[in-house]
Every structure is written in C-alpha cells, then in structure tokens.
C-alpha cells in the first residue's frame, strides 16, 4: 500500500505519508527508476524491487552513474559504496507499508547529515 491508498482508505493525512513520498523520491534518485515504470506489475513496486535485490545485489538497482561517481576516488570507494547502501536503507525505511514503522523526518535528517559528513571527509 502507498500513502495514496492510505488516504483512500480513510486514513488521516499525516507526516508519515510525507515520509513515504520522500522515500520514493530518494529511491527514484538512487535507481533512476520511476515508480510508474512498466517493469512494476503484478504487485511489484519500486521499494519491493529494491528490497528483493538489497543488500546483496545493490549494484543491480543503483544507477550506474552514481556508482561511477562514488568510484572517482578509488581510495574511498568502499566507504562511499557503503554510504550509498545506507541511503538505500533510509529510502526503504521511509517506504515501509505500515506508517507506524516509518521513521520521522528528524531521524531521517540525522542519518542524511551523518552520511554527508562522512562522504565529504
């Protein structure tokens, strides 16, 4: 279920729906796949597709250009690849089916700030 379905089922509008939307946008950026991509049929959606391949086949879902940029500094490639995996984890946590299981934006921002600091160091 996505946040539109939650609202359609009479759920109150909440920040948890916004968190879901944020997670979808983050996953779109990381994968360069739109949630409306033709590959998402029969119950398969962007978060499920990533989850199927995560974390063992993360390179199959992440945009190759992003991975290439992470590899520009080969000395830091393992660290940057790990940080990309953490970004995927944040996106997946935001798109949990149950709104109660989704993080709040303060926790998301803390995680993103930590990733940025490590990336830039």
The answer to whether 88 and 28 have CB atoms below 8 angstroms apart is no
Question: Residue 98 is part of which domain span?
Answer: 3-120
Condensed to tens digits (0 to 9), the pLDDT of residues 14-23 reads 899 999 999 9
Q: CA triplet 14, 16, 18: central angle to 5 degrees?
A: 85
Q: How many domains does the chain have?
A: 1
CA-wise closest residue to 114 among 77, 75, 65, 79: 79
Condensed to tens digits (0 to 9), the pLDDT of residues 32-57 reads 999 999 999 999 999 999 999 988 88
Residue 11 pLDDT greater than 80, yes or no = no
The DSSP annotation for 18-78 comes to HHHHHHHHHHHHHH---TT-TT--TT--HHHHHHHHTTTTGGGTS-HHHHHHHTSSGGGHH
Q: CA triplet 25, 34, 10: central angle to 5 degrees?
A: 65
CATH number (domain holding residue 15) = 1.10.510.10
């Amino acid at each position: 279920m996505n946040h539109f379905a939650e609202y359609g089922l009479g759920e109150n509008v909440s920040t948890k729906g916004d968190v879901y939307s944020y997670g979808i946008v983050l996953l779109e950026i990381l994968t360069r796949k739109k949630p409306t991509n033709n590959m998402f049929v029969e119950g398969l959606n962007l978060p499920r597709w990533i989850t199927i391949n995560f974390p063992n086949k993360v390179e199959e879902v992440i945009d190759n250009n992003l991975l290439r940029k992470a590899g520009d500094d080969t000395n830091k490639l393992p660290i940057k690849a790990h940080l990309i995996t953490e970004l995927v984890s944040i996106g997946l946590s935001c798109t949990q089916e149950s709104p109660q299981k989704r993080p709040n934006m303060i926790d998301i921002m803390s995680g993103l700030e930590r990733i940025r600091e490590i990336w830039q160091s």
